[in-house]
Structure 1
Amino acid sequence: MKKIIYTLVLNFLISLSIHAQEIHWVTLNEALELQKKTPKKIMMDVYTNWCGPCKMLDKNTFHNADVAKYVNEHYYAVKFNGEGNDVVTYKNNTYANANYNPELANRRNSVHDFARYLKISAYPTVVFFDEKGEVITPIRGYQTPPQIELYLKMFKNDEHKAIETQEQFNAYYASFKSEFKG
């Protein structure tokens, strides 16, 4: 009996992994180049290696089939370690992390200059950019698939441009009907 249950569970897990959809991540530099050929907005996940909510966002939200499909279709997706040592070129400026310590790669490290430029004050933060690479806004904190769906669709459809007050956002939020499972 244990072998039958084990086999059923194993087959179920294999079928899930076969049908799982992953987000196609690129670097910010790659996304900005891709925008020149095919304009799309950018969704950038700013994370750190030590951040628990960042890992939850990746596992629970970015591995969600609805989120992955929508992001892959409508955005260039970027993963950016806010305390990493990648070099980023943005608006003819180069950003690095001169104080990066490789011994602290999985612990708190020096904040990357690009994270400072974006005024990232918490992890995770998802930063949205328009088709020209201009920052739309950062969204701080862990987001479930239905929570991030609101922002993905609002920014993709430029509906944020008509929202000027907190009351207007609250009305948009209240009327939003999530389609993502999660």
Structure 2
Amino acid sequence: MKKLLLAFFLVLGVFTVNAQEVRWMSLDEALAKQKKNPKPIFLEVCTDWYSQCKMFENNTLQNAEVADFINRNYYAVKFNAEGNSVVHFKGNSFNNPNYDPNRKGRNSAHELTSFLKVEGYPSIYIIGKNGEVQEKTTGFKSSEELLKFLK
């Protein structure tokens, strides 16, 4: 029985190692990396509660081809549009002064969402090597649709 369990975990480990995931970082980290090694930023603006965001993250962003393409060509940032992080962008400091840590479900919108003029979730922004927003798209995208947008 022990040998069977060991074999199972070894096989599981091989599949886990081969799984491709997007390498996420904060916006501040991505902007700092961008200064040292210029490449665009893939910024996903989402919420914890919205089903379209969950579907996008669990389906589209879990696709190995999508994750590999994002990791090779972008710095990837997942931003919670209703979170309480402090973000520095374009010389400004943004936060969420009305954030309620005890609230379940929807929370107040982060100031960065207003600055970016987010129209819905999930939203994808491509921030160019110069720090300017180059492209944006809103709503659930399949793997094929997202790759077409990114290419």
- Relative to the length of structure 1, the TM-score reads 0.74
4+ residue segments displaced more than 6 Å? none
Q: Which residue of 2 aligns with 1:163?
A: none
Structure ranking higher on relative contact order (CA contacts 8 Å, 6+ apart): 2
Q: CA RMSD in A?
A: 1.7
Q: 1:146 aligns with which of 139, 144, 147?
A: 144
Query: 1:44-73 CA distances to partner (integer Å, 9 max, x unpaired)?
Result: 110101011111111111111001111100
Alignment of 1:21-170 (within 5 A): 21-104=20-103, 106-153=104-151
Identity of aligned residues (%): 41
How far apart are residue 90 of structure 1 and its match? 0.6
Structure 1: runs of 5 or more not aligned:
1-6, 154-182
Q: How many matched pairs?
A: 143
How far apart are residue 138 of structure 1 and its match? 1.9
Distance in 2, Cα, partners of 1:25 & 1:72: 9
Structure (1 or 2) with the greater helix fraction: 1
How far apart are residue 151 of structure 1 and its match? 1.3
Question: What is the letter of the counterpart of residue 92 of structure 2?
Answer: N
How far apart are residue 137 of structure 1 and its match? 2.5
SS of the equivalent of 1:103 reads coil
Structure 2: runs of 5 or more not aligned:
none
